[in-house]
């Protein structure tokens, strides 16, 4: 089974990604980062998901703030707790450590994938401590960025916008890197029909997912006028566990750090000439959304 470490900021779609990863990979650990909500909330949510799944995956708390500037959160989507709208599982779990960076650096050997579902602060700090780390791991699958439009600004996606300096370091570190940006993740969407189907199933995971999607659909109805939600983070899990479902192209990707309108943009070289800059990432363009949604729903059985 593929071995992975999940760096995340749960987050509704992070929670679904954690469920999916525990079904299809050996999850060696979870590291948390400030993102959708402050670090204390994303860490509490990660612990709660491990309780729901009844797994003993260690949770390591990481960075509480980006490399530069103030923390940014997505409370408008995920609520004050980062995971509003779900009944919280009762548990007494605590973190394995407060040093996610050390945990990442200890990744045992070359076959471990890092799946990054939040701002890239922890990964950038790991690279700063040990630039050779990226050559000791199999690769990094990132939910972040976009080869088209943004969601936090016109051109920037939330995870990159929340810590562009960290993202720039990670994209330039020489890792085997897959970018699952908004151009991909908007192809995998949940609907109210899925909520109804999950409500028929009598198990705690399906109930949790039904509440979670229902809440997200309500937020999306308010924000964009459609009761549907893109399942961003599960795409980056599937890029590792089921790469045959996702089509990628090698591309040069740089992070814009200066622009007043474009800070946090993933600038992807998509020129059709032969003179493209050398690729540093595999950019994901297409997902088999039908099969991917089957896998998402199966992990709630």
Residue ranges binding ligand BDR (CB under 6 A): 11, 13-14, 36, 74, 77, 117-118, 143, 151, 157-159, 232-233
Which residues, in sequence order, are CB contacts of 69 under 8 Å at separation 6+? Answer: none
Residues 146/66, Cβ–Cβ less than 8 Å: no
Q: Which of ligand BDR, Ca ion, none is residue 300 near (CB under 5 to 8 Å by kind)?
A: none
Closest residue to ligand BDR, judged by C-beta, is 158
CA nearest to 46, candidates 76, 77, 21, 25: 21
Tell the smallest beta-carbon distance from residue 273 to ligand BDR (Å). 30
Q: Which of 2, 5, 6, 11 binds Ca ion (CB under 5 A)?
A: 11
Tell the smallest beta-carbon distance from residue 200 to ligand BDR (Å). 27
For residues 4 and 197, which CB has a smaller minimum distance to Ca ion in the complex? 4
To 5 degrees, how large is the angle CA 170–CA 126–CA 83? 80
> Which tokens is 178 given?
């897959």
232 catalytic, yes or no?
yes
* 35: number of Cβ within 10 Å: 32
Q: How distant, in Å, are the alpha carbons of 225, 252, 267, 272 from that of 275?
A: 41, 11, 16, 8
Tell the smallest beta-carbon distance from residue 219 to ligand BDR (Å). 11
User: Catalytic residue among 186, 217, 232, 242, which?
Assistant: 232
For residues 157 and 214, which CB has a smaller minimum distance to ligand BDR in the complex? 157
Backbone phi and psi for residue 230, each to the nearest 5 degrees, phi listed first: -80, 135
Tell the smallest beta-carbon distance from residue 63 to Ca ion (Å). 14
Residues noted as catalytic: 232
**Interface with Ca ion (CB under 5 A):** 9, 11, 14, 117-118, 233
């Amino acid at each position: 089974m593929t071995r992975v470490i999940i760096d995340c900021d749960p987050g509704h779609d992070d929670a679904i990604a954690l469920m999916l990863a525990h079904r299809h990979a050996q999850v060696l650990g979870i590291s948390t980062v400030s993102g959708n909500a402050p670090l204390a909330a994303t860490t509490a949510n990660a612990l709660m998901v491990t309780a729901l799944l009844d797994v003993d995956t260690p949770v390591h708390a990481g960075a509480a703030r980006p490399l530069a500037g103030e923390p940014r959160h997505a409370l408008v989507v995920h609520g004050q707790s980062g995971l509003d709208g779900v009944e919280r599982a009762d548990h007494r779990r605590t973190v394995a450590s407060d040093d996610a960076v050390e945990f990442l650096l200890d990744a045992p050997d070359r076959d471990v994938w890092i799946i990054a579902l939040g701002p890239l602060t922890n990964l950038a700090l790991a690279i700063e401590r040990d630039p050779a780390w990226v050559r000791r791991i199999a690769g990094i699958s990132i939910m972040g960025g976009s080869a088209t439009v943004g969601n936090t600004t016109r051109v920037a996606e939330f995870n990159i916008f929340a810590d562009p300096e960290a993202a720039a370091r990670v994209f330039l570190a020489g890792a085997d890197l897959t970018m699952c940006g908004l151009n991909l993740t908007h192809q995998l969407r949940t609907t109210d029909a899925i909520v109804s189907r999950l409500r028929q199933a009598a198990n705690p995971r399906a109930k949790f997912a039904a509440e979670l999607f229902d809440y997200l659909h309500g937020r999306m109805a308010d924000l964009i006028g459609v009761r549907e939600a893109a399942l961003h983070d599960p795409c980056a899990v599937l890029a590792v566990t089921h790469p045959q479902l996702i089509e990628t192209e090698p591309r040069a990707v740089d992070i814009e750090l200066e622009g007043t309108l474009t800070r946090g943009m993933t600038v992807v070289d998509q020129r059709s000439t032969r003179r493209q800059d050398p690729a540093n990432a595999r950019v994901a363009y297409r997902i088999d959304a039908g099969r991917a949604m089957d896998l998402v729903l199966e992990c709630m059985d």
